[in-house]
Structure 1
Amino acid sequence: MIRDLPPARSGSRAGRIARFGLAALVALSLGLGSVQLATADQLDIQKKSVQTRIAQNKQDLDEANAQAVAATQALAQSQAALADAQAKLAAAQSRLEQSQALDQKRAAELEVAQAAQQLAQDEADSAQRDVAAWQHESGARVRETMQQQNPLAGFGSLFSNTTIDDLNQKVQWSTTVLDSTSAQMDRLTALKLKLDAAEAKATEVEAKVSKLRAEAAAGLKTSQQLQGAASQAAAVVATANAQNQKAKASADAQVKAEQQRQVALQTESEAVDKRIAQRIAAQKAAAAKAERDRLARERAEASRRAAAAKAAAAKAKSSSKTSRSTNRTSGGKTSTRTTTRTTTASQGWIYPSGAAITSQYGMRLHPVLHIWKLHDGTDFGAACGSPIRAARSGVVAERYYNAGYGNRLMIDHGLVNGRYVTTGYNHAIRYTVGVGQHVSQGQIIGYVGSTGYSTGCHLHLMVWVNGQVTNAMTSIY
């Protein structure tokens, strides 16, 4: 640290800044060590949560190291990418599972249909065999009958020596043959109907089987495509997880460094408080000594005047009685008039910058450590190089560089309305006044920068009242 300070002041005391548990690690470093699949809805919620944290981290990040902020934001973005990849993988696997379930259903239906097809084919084959057997049997009988009878056989019997009994027997035989033929024809008709029905059923089942087979083939192709998509999604998750692990390692390292920086900032704040307290004590001691010296002078002056009055009275008493009327003294009634010197300070304060206030004094969540920490000043979002003006007349008490606050300058305004007030100006690119120099209200004392732990140009104004850091907006404005 390079300092430009008044002569030798050292030591330390407990600071007034509340201590926070630095053991609380950054909430952003969730570090998904292994890919755990969740439902799409859960992953969407996780993704939105990470995106919300990213948006919150884009606020003014005074007193936070830019590298640490970048590392934690990179981790948050990596986790968002991982959550998105996991959501896509879960969706792809869900579609694949649905497709595979449909494939299994189609395969079962196809198996049942194929069994029905085989049964129908068996029935058709059986009917066909029955028809063939009938045809064979009927053909044999017809041939036998044709060999024994012909259309003129009946007439022939009329001109032969056939007896009436023979004729009756032949007529009876012919009637029997005709009746048997009619029964066979009925059976043939029934068999043909059964065959037609069996063949129709077989045709219908075969069409259904063909349709199911085509649907199964299409489903299989879809499943293969979905399997490819799921594999690609898994590869993306693996890549995102690797990147997340790398980002987590970087963020963890930055978190540890940020914890050390915060300890250094707290130590710096305590040291500043101590020095301001020492100056206030010195001013009070000087004021008390001045008051004692004033009272001593007044007492000495009163004694001197009393002695002079006494001497004058004695001299007047010894003078001539004739000159008594003209040289009479005031009889020791000399009045002493004491004039007390007071300094009336201006009641007004001005803003050190005309830029808008971007961050108020108060407790806020640290963007890297994710612990509640005091933001000990008021930030003005001024552009780089814009002027910084003294908020009130005073004397420059300190000017130096600090790793956290960057270039710092403090003005001691002395006793203002019964309170000792000091203002501090931080992160400047440079200052134009030095320690011990008196500055007037509104005088340019430096130019806005982004030195120290700062992610962009701004002025961090601090105010101490009676040695305690306070909110400038309520203490002096």
Structure 2
Amino acid sequence: MRRSRPHRPRGRRPLAGLLAGVLAVLVGVTAAGSAAGDDLDDQQSQLEQRQQANDQQRADAEAALEGLSEELAQTAQELLAVQQQLGPAREALSAAEEALAGYEREAALIAARLQDAQDQQASISATIEQDSARADEIRSQIGQLARQAYQGGPELSGLSVVMEAQSVEEFTEQYSLATAAQRAQSEVLDELAAISADNRNSQARLTAVGDRIAELKDEADAKVAQAEAARQEAADREAEVERLVAEQTAKKKQIEQQKSAAQAEVDQIDAEAAAIRKKLEQVAAQQRERAAAAAAAAGTAPPPAPSGTVSGALFGNPTSISPIYVTSEYGMRLHPILGYYRLHAGIDLRTWCGTPIYAAKEGTVQWAQWRNGFGNQVMVDHGLVDGNSLMTSYNHMTSFVVGGGQAVSRGQLLGYSGNTGTSAACHLHFEVYVNGATVNPRPLLGL
């Protein structure tokens, strides 16, 4: 058995850093834009769900990008990056607009309170002015009465009225005049006292209203500043959305121009995959022929006819990540440039660059070589299982440490994970072939 020399990495450099940066921005924006009234646990759950959704979107995008050159994949990744930023940018714009509207509503309420306080201030000031004028008038009347009393001699007392009256009629008249004068004087003094008390109260109210006006003016100034900041934030967010929309349009136009090149690359990869299938079908036919010949020579029953399906957890973990972590499933993927669905013919398993890749089951290495699109690929033949030829392939490896024809045991080191071929990031693209056709590896891995 031949042991090949480890291959050096070939293919483009990792492009996943761009997506990782976009996701960091996305999570940050989403966190900033969360509603203040939400419960913290709900916010955390929403962020985790958003993160998981974006991780899956990135993984699916990476799977779809397999089969593109670095230049085309870069354009597709940049478009994805823009699209992932656009949603949060629109959310941030909406939040900024809501904040601005809130500040404007608060500013309007404060302005209304300020106007009401100023109206109260004007009303109280007018009342004070009127009461002060009445008080001045009363003081003038009191002064006039005092002068009249001084000029008219000693004030009439009740005794003087009795002693000086010449008749009952004169007594009654003079006593009534004296009583009326005293009552008028008392009423004037009472009114002056009431006006003075009211003025003191009004002055206290005027001082309180003045203080409130000063506070409201400060609040109004603060709200104006907050509204201006919110208005600028909304303008910035709107400009960011417009920039991203323009960038998205430009990227889509660029992708449209690259469709012919992308189609040529995909056709080339599909031709490589078809060649692999044809080779594996030939191997499967040879295996069945040998098994039938061996059974005939031994006089035993021939192997069962191929059903095209195998079942059960036949494979162990081919990665160093435990438990196995699937980043992208087997199935159809929307091509980021060509716009139609293509089969993602394996599952992508999380591995870090340069980490070990192991044989999922004992078998014989069919080949370990560079394959267009697949990068460094190891194909392991596991022989017939229930009459079906079973093989596994390990793709995009940085290097391999086995060679064609070499027998390997389950869990034996095949090489190291990488990003060779048309791959968007370091991972293991793991495929399973039954009679030369790919099947979903998940159930065969016991997942």
Fold match by TM threshold 0.5: yes
Q: Kindly report the root-mean-square deviation, in angstroms, between the aligned alpha carbons of the 2 structures.
A: 5.3
Q: Check 1:78–1:290 CA distance in 2 against 1; reply closer, same or farther (3 A cut).
A: closer
Whole-Å separation in 1 of the counterparts to 2:48 and 2:88: 7
The 1:463/1:285 distance shift into structure 2, 3 A limit, reads: closer
Q: 5+ residue gaps in structure 1? A: 1-29, 31-36, 158-166, 295-336
Matched ranges for 1:339-358 at <5 A: 352-356=318-322, 357-358=324-325
Aligned to 2:436: 467
Pick one of 385, 401, 413 that aligns with 2:372. 401
**Number of residues of Structure 1 aligned to a counterpart in Structure 2:** 376
- C-alpha distance 388-48 of structure 1, shift in aligned 2 (>3 A): closer
1:111 matched to 2:82? The reply is no
Distance in structure 2 (CA, Å) of the matches to 1:191 and 1:249: 83
Give, in whole Å, the separation in 1 of the partners of 2:291 and 2:320: 40
Please point out which of 211, 222, 232 is paired with 2:229: 232
Q: Secondary structure at the match of 2:130?
A: helix
Partner of 2:212: 215
Partner amino acid, structure 2, of 1:447: Y
CA distance in 1 between counterparts of 2:287 and 2:441 reads 26
**Is the CA contact (8 Å cut-off) linking 1:138 and 1:184 kept in structure 2?**
no
- Once the two structures are superposed, what CA deviation does each residue of 1:157-179 show, in whole Å capped at 9, x if it has no partner? 9xxxxxxxxx948x976874554
Give the TM-score of the pair, scaled to structure 1.
Answer: 0.59
> How high is the sequence identity, in percent, across the aligned residues?
21
Alignment check: 8 A CA contact 1:382 1:457 kept: yes
Correspondences of 1:26-425 after superposition (within 5 Å): 52-58=49-55, 61=59, 62-63=62-63, 65=65, 67=74, 68=76, 72=80, 76=84, 80=88, 83=91, 87=95, 90-91=98-99, 93-95=101-103, 97-119=105-127, 121-133=129-141, 135-136=143-144, 139-140=147-148, 143-144=151-152, 168=166, 176-177=173-174, 179-250=176-247, 257=255, 267=267, 270-272=270-272, 274-279=274-279, 282=282, 352-356=318-322, 357-359=324-326, 361-363=329-331, 375-390=344-359, 391=361, 392-396=363-367, 399-402=370-373, 405-411=374-380, 415-425=384-394
Indicate how the Cα distance of structure 1 residues 128 and 444 shifts in structure 2: closer, same or farther if over 3 A, else same.
Answer: closer
The answer for unaligned runs of 5 or more in structure 2 is 1-25, 27-32, 66-72, 304-311
Report the Cα distance in structure 1 between the residues aligned to 2:176 and 2:235, rounded to whole angstroms: 87
Corresponding residue for 1:438? 405
Contact 2:100–2:227 (8 Å) recurs in 1: yes
Tell me the distance in 2 between the aligned counterparts of 1:81 and 1:410: 45
SS in 2 for 1:449: coil
**Counterpart Cα distance in 1 of 2:170 and 2:222:** 77
Please give the alpha-carbon distance, in whole angstroms, between the structure 1 residues aligned to 2:287 and 2:172: 158
Q: Determine if contact 1:429/1:450 at 8 Å carries over to the other structure.
A: yes
Q: Retained in 2: the 8 A contact 1:54–1:76?
A: no
Letter in 2 for 1:214: D
Distance 1:198 1:454, change over 3 A: farther
Does the CA contact (< 8 Å) of 1:384 and 1:458 recur in 2?
Answer: yes
Alpha-carbon separation, structure 2, partners of 1:50 and 1:71: 23
CA distance 1:173–1:249, change in 2 (3 Å) = same
Q: Secondary structure at the match of 1:451?
A: coil
Deviation at 1:183, TM superposition (A): 1.5
